[in-house]
């Protein structure tokens, strides 16, 4: 039990650190070979911040622990809104741009509804996985097209961030491969420890995925959101959360289902999916409420506190 607990702690710390090294190395390497800042921001950095969830869920599915895989994906989505967005709004109110309400949020809501339809029969089949991955690539293609047709603010931010590092290409490629190797190794350690703890306490791997693993793999998003809000980049803070939830719902669940189709506990739909959906709708409700009061749409400190309290109430519900 002690060894399993240490494996979870060590695995999470190494997972987050290696993901950061992988992102930095991949971004600098891609820039060196002429990849545009937009593509670096959307593909490499977008992939990198969700890499912990993706690798952990892939290993969990391959090792016959589908509850851990799905719990990690849905649990991370709920943590991104309740914990990450909530704590960030407590630090500083987050302005929600009208373009986000018109474009990104409707897509996130539509994909959340798609996920509900996929899991309604309590089973994720190979065809379900194909649908999720196909929609993921379609959304990524649309996002890249939108970025190429408009002002590439994400690309400019990414370009400035990469340029500030001035990392030699040899070191960047070293971190690319070392980061990827450690990302995989730490994920295996984390999955092993999480499963051992679940067995020791007599709880399902779904519960461990929804709580310990989901919170741990959401820490990169929390760090990114706090850094963005301190720079007054509200759109990047919210965009990171929306993008991560899109990635988790489509790619993380899709990859897990493609590796091994699996049955789902009925409570996933009746409890975890519904809470995730309500949290998603709450972002829109809070933003529209501000706009009706003739203020820019935003999530203020009170609403951030509501998110945090609701999230920890949900965790208590899951555990008990």
Closest by Cα among 149, 258, 272, 158 to 207: 272
Please state, in angstroms and rounded to a whole number, the distance separating the CA atoms of residues 291 and 33: 44
In tens, the pLDDT along 49-69 reads 677 788 888 888 888 888 888
DSSP letter assigned to residue 260: S
For residue range 116-173, list pLDDT tens digits in order.
999 999 999 999 999 999 999 998 888 777 666 654 444 444 444 544 456 787 888 8
- Rounded Cα distance between 189 and 184, Å, is 9
The pLDDT of 63-77, averaged and rounded, is 88
Q: Which of 7-11, 14-18, 148-152, 292-296 has the highest mean pLDDT?
A: 7-11
For the stretch 219-255, pLDDT in tens is 777 877 777 777 776 666 777 788 888 889 999 999 9
Tokens representing 262? Answer: 């699996």
> Can you read off the two tokens belonging to residue 303?
């609403």
Domains, the chain: 2-319 (1.20.1420.30)
The better pLDDT of the pair 310, 232 is held by 310
């Amino acid at each position: 039990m002690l060894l399993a607990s240490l494996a979870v702690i060590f695995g999470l710390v190494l997972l987050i650190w290696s993901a950061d090294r992988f992102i930095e190395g991949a971004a600098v390497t891609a820039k060196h070979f002429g990849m545009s800042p937009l593509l670096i921001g959307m593909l490499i950095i977008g992939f990198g911040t969700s890499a912990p969830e993706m690798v952990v869920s892939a290993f969990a599915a391959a090792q016959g622990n589908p509850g851990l895989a799905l719990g990690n994906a849905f649990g991370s989505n709920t943590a991104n809104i309740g914990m990450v967005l909530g704590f960030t709004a407590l630090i500083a109110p987050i302005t929600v741009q009208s373009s986000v309400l018109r474009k990104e949020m409707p897509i996130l809501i539509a994909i959340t509804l798609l996920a509900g339809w996929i899991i309604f029969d309590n089973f994720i089949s190979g065809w379900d996985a194909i649908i999720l991955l196909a929609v993921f690539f379609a959304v990524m293609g649309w996002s890249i097209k939108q970025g190429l047709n408009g002002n590439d603010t994400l690309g400019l931010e990414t370009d400035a961030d990469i340029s500030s590092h001035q990392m030699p290409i040899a070191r960047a490629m070293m971190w690319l491969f070392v980061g990827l190797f450690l990302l995989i190794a730490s994920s295996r350690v984390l999955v092993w420890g999480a499963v051992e703890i679940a067995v020791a306490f007599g709880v399902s791997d779904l519960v461990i995925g929804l709580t310990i693993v989901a919170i741990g793999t959401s820490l990169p998003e929390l760090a990114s959101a706090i850094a963005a809000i301190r720079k007054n980049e509200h759109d990047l803070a919210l965009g990171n959360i929306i993008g991560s939830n899109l990635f988790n719902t489509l790619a993380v669940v899709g990859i897990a289902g493609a590796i091994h189709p699996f049955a789902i506990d009925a409570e996933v739909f009746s409890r975890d999916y519904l809470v995730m959906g309500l949290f998603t709708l709450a972002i829109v409700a809070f933003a529209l409420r501000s706009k009706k009061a003739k203020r820019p749409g935003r999530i203020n400190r009170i609403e951030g506190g509501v998110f945090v309290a609701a999230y920890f109430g949900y965790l208590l519900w899951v555990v008990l």
